[in-house]
Amino acid sequence: MRRTALALLAATALAGPAAAADETAQIGYVNTAMTNMGLTRSHRVVVERFDDPEVRNVACYISQARTGGISGMVGVAEDPARFALSCTATGPVEILPGAARGERGEVVHESSTSLFFKETRVHRFIDEQRGAVVYLAWSTRLVEGSPFSAVAVVPTAR
């Protein structure tokens, strides 16, 4: 019984990251500064890809700064609120009926950038009038009075 429970727990732990990999995939990174004479992970800029679950054939790429050093290795570092966003059509763009419309948009991606309370979020807005899907990335932390943000636009077939 105990062995079965441990095997089930291990399988669940291994399945968790695999499921998350389907949502967001790390494409690559560059080291931007060596920390602790190269003994710990360096500061990096990481490029990740995610797909919009309600808009078919759209892939978004976000690059974000990641803090290195010991705190970065153990997951307690606060990453800078700096990022870039680009989205592209990978085929005919199809907005599914469940996609939220309206001026509040819908969150399609979240990435934690500190242990407590700071995230990068990507909202989707649908501009029916111009035939476009608009993605807005923003930080939940204020930087000098306002959040950092970036925008990307993907045209749709009319």
pLDDT digits 0-9 by tens, 53-82: 999 999 999 988 876 655 544 454 554 567
Chain centroid to Cα 150, Å, comes to: 13
pLDDT for the residue numbered 113: 52
Short-list 152, 157, 156, 158, CA closest to 50: 152
pTM strictly above 0.85: no
For the chain, domain boundaries: 26-155
Count of other CB atoms within 10 angstroms of residue 101: 13
State which amino acid sits at residue 20: A
Tokens representing 28 are 């690559």
**DSSP SS3 for 105:** coil
C-alpha distances (whole Å) from 51 to each of 22, 38, 46, 47, 114 are 9, 34, 17, 14, 23
DSSP-based helix, strand, coil % in the chain, nearest 5: 20, 50, 30
Task: Look at residue 26 and tell me whether its pLDDT is greater than 50.
Answer: yes
Mean confidence (pLDDT) of the chain: 74
pLDDT digits (tens, 9 = 90+) for 85-96: 999 999 999 999
| Residue 114 contacts residue 78 (beta carbons within 8 Å) | yes
State which amino acid sits at residue 157: A
Short-list 114, 47, 27, 41, CA closest to 79: 114
pLDDT for the residue numbered 49: 95
